[in-house]
Amino acid sequence: MKKICVVGSINMDLIVTANRFPQPGETLVGKEFNTFPGGKGANQAVAAGRLQADVRMVGKIGDDMYGAQLIHNLQENGVKTSEVMVDSNYSTGIAAIEVDGTGENHIIIVPGANGKVDIPLIDEKLDAMLEADIFLFQLEIPLETVIYAMRKLKEHGKTIILDPAPACPLPEEIYRFIDFLTPNETEIAMITGREIKTMTDIKEAAASLYQKGVGAVIVKAGSHGAYFFSKKDFFHCPGFTVKAVDTTGAGDSFNGGLAVSLAGENGVKESVKFANAVGALSTTAKGAQNAMPTLTQVTSLIKNQGK
Ligand code: RIB
């Protein structure tokens, strides 16, 4: 089994639920408030840890109560945290999340220490990072750090998966470092600057990305599953049917699952199917890391629905 390393954000999620989202300027009475461990990076690491992968995390937390709770939760889920540093000048990252009655969410993040995951940290941790084979990145830490780390890792022939979330315009140089780019439909529209309305729009947008050097583009389509595009291949993996209560972290679970399956030397079709199952199951309980499935749950969903 290959080893996985996640470079990214660690947040405490402050979650309110309500029947619907408020209109601008409206005050609404909600139903529940919870704090759950989150952050796109940590979510991907916990998804992999719950699936019994060998996974380590590189990132930063503040010297506060949330930071301590988040490290504890990573460790409880089998994630190695020796490369997570405490920066006492900043607070631990947080995300304010609203979830409506259908399980959809709105998220505002305040990066705190995540915003200080910098190039010196990568230099300091590079030797430890190089023990891993497959690397998961997202965009909740500074983009210049992401690009720097990717360049260093590519010099060593590592496999790189980028979840371009939260989406932002990306510099041309980044594409050649990426083996798997995993946007959803909104993110692919944002990073390619194209309007996405039809399947043809998605295909053309994906083609523009692999022509720039991305190995493969996997477009995550929620309950519709995922679409895989590369120079040689195109396929659709249908989604699994589950009862969603909270979609927070579903995309992160997908990426964690994808990395775990690739780490097990499975092919891309098998791996996208596995990732779909992990993503679907993560929507069936509240919270992000809280809802990540076990290997047994994933294998039985695949067996039962056999997609
Ligand atoms: O992708 C979901 C995550 O986005 C949440 O856990 C929140 O922390 C934000 O980073």
pLDDT tens digits, 209-242: 999 999 999 999 999 999 999 999 999 999 999 9
Q: CA-CA distance, 155 to 101, in Å (whole number)?
A: 47
User: Ligand 1 center to residue 246 CA distance, Å?
Assistant: 12
Q: CA-CA distance, 281 to 291, in Å (whole number)?
A: 8
Count of domains observed in the chain: 1
Residue 102 lies in a domain: no
Q: CA-CA distance, 195 to 127, in Å (whole number)?
A: 42
| 8, 39 Cβ separation under 8 angstroms | yes
Place of tokens 């309500």: 18
| 31, 19 Cβ separation under 8 angstroms | yes
User: Ligand 1 center to residue 107 CA distance, Å?
Assistant: 7
Q: Residue 11: CB within 6 Å of ligand 1? A: yes
| 30, 17 Cβ separation under 8 angstroms | yes
Q: Is the alpha carbon torsion for 207, 213, 216, 220 positive or negative?
A: negative
Q: CA-CA distance, 215 to 231, in Å (whole number)?
A: 8
Q: 245: domain CATH number?
A: 3.40.1190.20
- Structural domain of 248: 4-9+38-92+112-305
133 is catalytic: no
Which pair of structure tokens corresponds to residue 93? 């990252």
**Which residue's CA is minimally distant from atom 9 of ligand 1?**
39
Q: CA-CA distance, 186 to 189, in Å (whole number)?
A: 5
| 177, 147 Cβ separation under 8 angstroms | yes
Each residue's pLDDT expressed in tens, for the chain with a length of 307 residues = 999 999 999 999 999 999 999 999 999 999 999 999 999 999 999 999 999 999 999 999 999 999 999 999 999 999 999 999 999 999 999 999 999 998 888 999 999 999 999 999 999 999 999 999 999 999 999 999 999 999 999 999 999 999 999 999 999 999 999 999 999 999 999 999 999 999 999 999 999 999 999 999 999 999 999 999 999 999 999 999 999 988 999 999 999 999 999 999 999 999 999 999 999 999 999 989 999 999 999 999 999 997 6
Q: How many CB atoms lie within 10 A of CB 76?
A: 12
The residues facing 108 across adjacent strands are 96
**Which residue's CA is minimally distant from atom 1 of ligand 1?**
249
The residues facing 136 across adjacent strands are 6, 161
Residue 99 lies in a domain: no
Among residues 54, 87, 246, 252, the one annotated as catalytic is 252
Q: CA-CA distance, 299 to 307, in Å (whole number)?
A: 12
Residue 159 lies in a domain: yes
Order of strands, edge to edge, in the sheet holding 226-229?
79-86, 55-61, 4-7, 134-137, 159-162, 180-181, 216-220, 226-229, 234-237
Q: Residue 256: CB within 6 Å of ligand 1? A: no
In this prediction, residue 104 carries a pLDDT of: 86
Helix residue spans in the chain (DSSP H): 40-50, 65-76, 119-129, 143-154, 185-192, 199-210, 250-263, 268-281, 295-305
**Which residue's CA is minimally distant from atom 8 of ligand 1?**
39
Q: Residue 39: CB within 6 Å of ligand 1? A: yes
DSSP state, residue 245? S
User: Ligand 1 center to residue 9 CA distance, Å?
Assistant: 9
Rg (CA), the chain: 18
User: Ligand 1 center to residue 104 CA distance, Å?
Assistant: 13
Q: Residue 249: CB within 6 Å of ligand 1? A: yes
Residue 33 lies in a domain: no
Residue 56 lies in a domain: yes
